[in-house]
Structure 1
Amino acid sequence: MTLIIGIDPGSRLTGYGIVEKQGAKLRFVDAGTIRTESQDMPERLKRIFAGIDRIVQFHQPTEAAVEQVFMAQNPDSALKLGQARGAAIAALVNLDLAVSEYTARQIKQSVVGYGAADKEQVQMMVMRLLDLSIKPQADAADALAAAICHAHASGSLNKMAVLNALGGMARGRGRGLRRR
């Protein structure tokens, strides 16, 4: 069993979502938002760090996925988002979690099958994939989508590692597959 926390960073609302992966099955554990409710940026960053620290200490996830920053039109907004993301990542690595990063396009592609999906589509697919009866708040749904994306990606990477190991063993015995 693997417990994965996904983070959708934001300077005012940071979404988090936790899923349990057992084999190919995913199960919803928790989701929500960390609201910073402050005008002072250093205080916001402190609240993001402390909020993620509390959530990780409580749930004890074993892996983390964070959405990468997109390039915003407004440089000030991009800087604030980058700072929020940095506070989230610092909280995760401070608790010895390895952090995987995914673009919004990768996350949407993994969950919806379309890299330019809108927030509503992501929410609906997260509901379907995790068998939820109520629609999660948008930032929480994005965080759950990041965790789902990581679950799918890590499963693929594990399969590739096994296949590569088996292929290496087969080549070592002279039985590797070759094109004719």
Structure 2
Amino acid sequence: MSRRILAIDPAIRNTGFAVLEQRDGQRTPTPLAYGTIKNKASLRQSACLLAITEHLREVIRTHQPNECAVEGIIYVQSHRTAITMGAARAAALIAAAEAGLEIREYAPKRVKQSVVGRGAADKDQVAFMVRALLGLRETPDHDAADALAIGLTHLTESSSPAAKLNPPASI
């Protein structure tokens, strides 16, 4: 039996995504796909949201994940930024929910702690550790690396005995 995780780091201009597979007895998951959905600055927000949803629908159709992990909402000082980030997150969640995936969310600090060992790690450290942990030939861009880190966190935490006592938030 195997688990396939769709992991998402949502943002209006650069949404990171990853699909990781872990088979029974396999120690290190296999990255099946990862990348960044890049929306040009000239695109209207509504077009960006549609692009995020459509791209993730295609990833889901192609790779058939059975679980989804997404970065939780982060604190921002600007209401406008919060609304934009929330809209990008909603676009991503719609694609996962349409596919019937169980969705779990992970706080950014929790992901950094899980992958790097430090909740205040910077993006370069996360990308470096993701490359090392997955044995990648090159370092993924920051948004894809964040999605891979979210997927790794989900696989680690959802399969541990402690997860049953303190499960990640379900959406």
- When normalised by structure 1's length, the TM-score is 0.85
Larger radius of gyration: 1
Deviations for 1:3-22, whole angstroms, at most 9, x for unmatched residues? 11110000001000111112
Q: Give me the identity figure in percent.
A: 39
Higher mean C-alpha displacement, 150-159 vs 81-90: 150-159
* Whole-angstrom distance in 1 between the partners of 2:9 and 2:43: 20
* Whole-angstrom distance in 1 between the partners of 2:21 and 2:45: 33
Of 14, 28, 32, the match for 1:29: 32
The equivalent of 2:168 in structure 1 is none
Matches of residues 15-54 of structure 1 in structure 2 within 5 Å? Answer: 15-22=16-23, 23=25, 24-37=27-40, 38-54=42-58
Residue 100 of structure 1: CA displacement?
0.4
CA contact (8 A) 2:28 2:134 kept: no
Matched, 1:2 2:6: no
* Whole-angstrom distance in 1 between the partners of 2:48 and 2:77: 22
Change (3 A) 1:14 1:153: same
Matched, 1:63 2:64: no
More helix by share: 1
Matches of residues 97-176 of structure 1 in structure 2 within 5 Å? Answer: 97-157=101-161, 160=164
* Whole-angstrom distance in 1 between the partners of 2:104 and 2:161: 12
CA contact (8 A) 2:8 2:69 kept: yes
* Whole-angstrom distance in 1 between the partners of 2:116 and 2:139: 15
Residue 72 of structure 1: CA displacement?
1.2
Change (3 A) 1:159 1:149: closer
Residue 160 of structure 1: CA displacement?
4.8
Structure 2 runs not aligned, ≥5 long: 166-171
* Whole-angstrom distance in 2 between the partners of 1:106 and 1:159: 13
Aligned length: 161
SS of equivalent residue, structure 1 residue 25: coil
- When normalised by structure 2's length, the TM-score is 0.89
User: Which residue identity is paired with 2:9?
Assistant: D
* Whole-angstrom distance in 2 between the partners of 1:9 and 1:139: 9
* Whole-angstrom distance in 2 between the partners of 1:89 and 1:20: 20
Structure 1 runs not aligned, ≥5 long: 162-180
Residue 39 of structure 1: CA displacement?
3.2
Higher mean C-alpha displacement, 88-97 vs 152-161: 152-161
Deviations for 1:36-91, whole angstroms, at most 9, x for unmatched residues? 22431111111111010011110111111000121112211111001000110111
Change (3 A) 1:105 1:158: closer
